[in-house]
A and B are shown apart, each in its own frame.
Chain A
């Protein structure tokens, strides 16, 4: 049994970027009997044989108590870690069997609560890190004006930084967008704007958007709400239970 194995799995073969044909498949991302526990606490199961299928064009909100395994689940989906048991597939291809680097590069984009922008770069340069898309246009779509685009990214407000982070995630053109508490550090108005952006990305650009959150507002706007409790997953759980 593989116990919280190393980052790379056997082989380092190229995993092709998803083709347009792949995009048409609804079932984008799938968890199959995924189990996870920490090496140091083997008796404490974080994720217990979870199976679930994430579809394109939907906004998913994952709720759960602190320490309930939400971020761990997101890390597994992002290929930052690998499950102890079970497998994760993207369009039927098991990510552990190919390069996790390529999975992170081509299949998923990550957005963090604390934005995680590179502090010595401008917004444009940060977006260019994400991919070859037109950084200026993406930033304009996110409402970052021309003057702001040329400043150091740390001189922007929290909301603006999160928009830059989303623009960077979009630059990679990955079909799956994973966000960890993306509105956690933002005021209510800005948070609503970000939620709106996520909805548009899911519904207009057909992306599969998975958001880990404590935010009731965000959960209310999601197409599917998943709740993690005692390592198990349940969908369409009442939001008020959290």
Chain B
């Protein structure tokens, strides 16, 4: 009778023991599946004010990844040291306080990544938009709220576009250029201003506006731009921060590279959004999947689709990945310990059987193999069943983790209330996608197999080190 037949008979006829082992492996497998799935979960978020238009996709910087990169750069610079690394700068002020800031190279979308995405099949056109850059207006006055005491200077916002017609506010109909024309890709040192600003300053097409760095308004080099268009405001554009520098009428559209020159950072642009339009709307979903396969550093970005939803990978959603890893480690460790104890107890009740086998000339390795085979057989069935239940278990665990993470974020937000001056978009989680992929199954198989093998082998040490006579003595 071979060890397979023996194992099958033992499992079938020692039902309580088999069921106990089955339940433990089933539970462990379910949570291991959940752990691995959650590590690669995709959290679908929708952020107010971040709705993409038409059949397009929008690329933005991922906030969580920004924190990670910042932490890594600070580590490179070292504790209590002045220095710079990867666009992050640390400087000790005369007061003794430390100042940390990031330059445009740290914040900007990478042009190579934008071009990679733009070159994908099915993409008809794309646009790049800079961050709203606040600069000093040299030869004209901005529009101000007479009821608000102004604490800043004569500052306005510059917004650069590769193609102005593809700007978000133009596309959504917030503004319309009714005099002159919009800025195109080949234009250089040109701008389009609001009707209100033109009227206030008596500006017309062909006039030249001067801008320079706001912190050194008196001395900084002036950058000039010719007015090629005047826009009418249909609906006021939503300001990105408080204050008249950002009010809708003070937003001046420019060519893509003007804002960086105006703020004194030539050749150091800060691209905030890149938008991509598909050629054939019917192929929208296919192109979306294809673009996601593009070889760029996706951790750095959020990728919004036409529903305004962004699939944020677990590593970029708070501590979701860390929490998944903790769950995974806890489940694996506790499973090994529990299974080890069960096997030890199991083995204790099988001393008689082991003694008989040894007396019959069976090798210890074959006895251990039988134990292992029994564990693997029960484990396989439990794992198979867990595979069917894995999507449901994983989804529930992911929902719980995301809910917990959101609770934490809410608490932090409440604690920071009043500290932040800028308008923060309200992000809502609209779903969590947990996929039990082939990779997740493979990782789970390895984990469960590892647990069973480790637990059985550890528990069999007591058999391996004993002489047959000692085992037989325990029988009597």
Contacts and interface: CB of A to CB of B under 8 A. Distances in A.
Contacts of B363: 101
Contact of B353 (A102, A110, A118, A130): A118
B14 A120 contact: yes
A103 interface: yes
Interface of A: 6-7, 75, 78, 80-81, 101-106, 110, 112-114, 116-121, 125, 128-130, 152, 172
A80 B14 CA distance: 28
Interface string B461-476: 0000001110010011
Interface residues on B, range: 20 to 34
Contacts, number: 57
B356 A7 contact: no
Contacts of B472: 75, 80
A120 B360 contact: no
Contact of A101 (B9, B361, B467, B475): B361
B1 A80 contact: no
Nearest to A120: B13
Nearest to B14: A120
A119 B351 CA distance: 12
A116 B468 contact: no
Q: Give the 3 A-B residue pairs with the shortest CB-CB distance, closest first.
A: A105-B361, A104-B361, A120-B13
A81 B469 contact: yes
Contact of B360 (A75, A105, A113, A121): A105
B132 to A, nearest CB: 77
A78 B361 CA distance: 10
Given A101-B363, A117-B356, A120-B10, 17 more contacts: A7-B467, A7-B468, A80-B467, A80-B468, A101-B362, A102-B361, A104-B359, A110-B360, A113-B476, A114-B475, A116-B352, A116-B355, A119-B352, A120-B9, A120-B13, A120-B14, A129-B360
B358 interface: yes
B10 A78 contact: no
B361 A106 contact: yes
Nearest to A72: B469
7 contacts: A80-B469, A80-B472, A116-B475, A119-B352, A120-B10, A121-B9, A130-B360
A78 B469 CA distance: 10
Contacts of B352: 116, 119
B358 A80 contact: yes
Contacts of A75: 469, 472
B463 to A, nearest CB: 12
Contact of B1 (A117, A119, A120, A128): A128
A75 B359 CA distance: 9
B451 to A, nearest CB: 25
A22 B445 CA distance: 52
A115 to B, nearest CB: 10
A106 B10 CA distance: 26
A110 B359 contact: yes
Given A120-B13, A128-B1, A81 B360 contact: no
Contacts of A114: 475-476
